[in-house]
Structure 1
Amino acid sequence: MIEALLREATPQLAAVSESPRAEAERLLAEVLGSSRTRLAAGLAAAPSAEQVRRYQQWLARRAAGEPYAYLSGQQPFRQIELQVNPAVLIPRADTEHLVDWALERIAAWQATGCAAPQVWDVCTGSGCVALSIAEASPAARLLASDLSPAALAVARGNAEALGLSRVELVEADGLDWPTPVPFELIVGNPPYIAEDDPHLPALRHEPRLALVSGPDGLDCLRRLIAQAPARLASGGWLLLEHGYDQGAAVRALLLAAGFVEVSSRRDYGGQERVSGGRWPGVAR
């Protein structure tokens, strides 16, 4: 029965997957609570009628372009497994570069003898950035914010599931949230896609609020760069993810705002993906 299901499913996924058979197996394994290895070895139990119905529903949704992560409700990111749903963007591997840079800055701060840097993750979505930082750097004090209450509910669920409830989660529009505490580090993966970007139809299942930011995609980035100096400690850093072709524009915005040591990091595809700079003061 399993082989018959897979033969029927594979052509349905041909238009949305480069490896339709493998994805058909992956979907069925998820439904069965098994693995592709057990499926291939004939060790998986035959599906129940309810599991067949669920599998066919998943196939229809996937064939319509819905991402696999929304079907399974999970997405791995760095060392953690995250719950996701259509209220949040699906975490991408390229965002790991933002986390890596943030951890470098935290380590540099701690090397000065200051063991508990204050870190703000803005536009947190699923919480992938804040929770990855918290998991890798237990001493860091984390605040994470998002404009969407539905996204914050997902982030809170992830924080609880991972035992990282020490991350404070608040609803805020950008950096517009009352806190007297200056931050040694502000990081964020804000919306940065232009309103008329031709790639948007392919992202139609993900929340537009977390994707689109004005005619050139830079509206939210401009606002965060303008807001950050009032929130940063002397010598604090601002690190922002952006589009593959926005590095030069974001560096120019950082320099115009008064940041120093401005530079960009490249993603796994070799494109500029994260830019940042230090607010003048004591270097950390």
Structure 2
Amino acid sequence: MFSSNTESMTDGEQFISAEDLIAQHFQPEQAYALFLDIDGTISEFHVDPQQSFIPKHTLKALENLQQHYPIIAVTGRSVSDAYRLFSPLDLAIAGTHGLEIQLSQQSDIQHPKHHLNFDDLYSDIEQACRDYPALLFERKKYAVAIHYRSQPDLEADVKVIAQALLKKYSALKLNLGKCVVELILAQADKGQAITTLYTQLDLNGVTPIFIGDDVTDESGFKTINDLGGISIKVGSGATHAKYRFKSVQNTLRFIELFLAFSNNNKTRQSHVLTTDGEITCLN
């Protein structure tokens, strides 16, 4: 397990390769659980978030990796949207930054308690942004995201609009991401979601891995560090994560290598040498 250091942040660009991370920090006898963000982590950004996708070969690798270790999504997307992207996988998902939690597609979604009328919020956002046709609104059950990916120079304007709306909707907070400002219930927190899933999935003694790319993933990195796990940020910028991948492609490469590592361990552990020198399979 890894020592905890949740208070310090680094802002350098000392990237590690997937090969070096596994070779230096993964142990054959250790159990792992892989927590994954989606956008900017295993899916490239698109101007329209609905055009984003997870590569088919990555989905296949994750499906095979599930035979060895739990795979959990921790995303700003809704649970239903995350399942769409991960199809055909069935996995535990913390959606809308942890406001929705579903352990599998057969289980009930765990919802937050609130009294906010999101129809009113959405109408107010549309009215406040009427002079900005380049903005794209993403309506979720417990949040509304304002995307300005097609026109990044609108960042300051969008933040001013969102801050003004907070004065009316005190139950909300702002999540500031990459070319997106999200008005979301204040209790949304990826770190708390990871803690909840770690407990509900009975992962005590398992080394958690969390890979994310954005400011909203920082509470998740801190939680993973507290649990003695492996936290990885994709890209540059100040972070609590212990390691960095340079791009989405490095994350996808890690998943492939992690699968190979897992398969090698299974082969190694399922064959033993008998007293007469014969190899026997324990499967």
Higher RCO structure (Cα 8 Å, ≥6 apart): 2
Q: Whose helix fraction is larger, Structure 1's or Structure 2's? A: 1
Q: Do the structures match in fold with TM over 0.5?
A: no
TM-score (normalizing by structure 2): 0.31
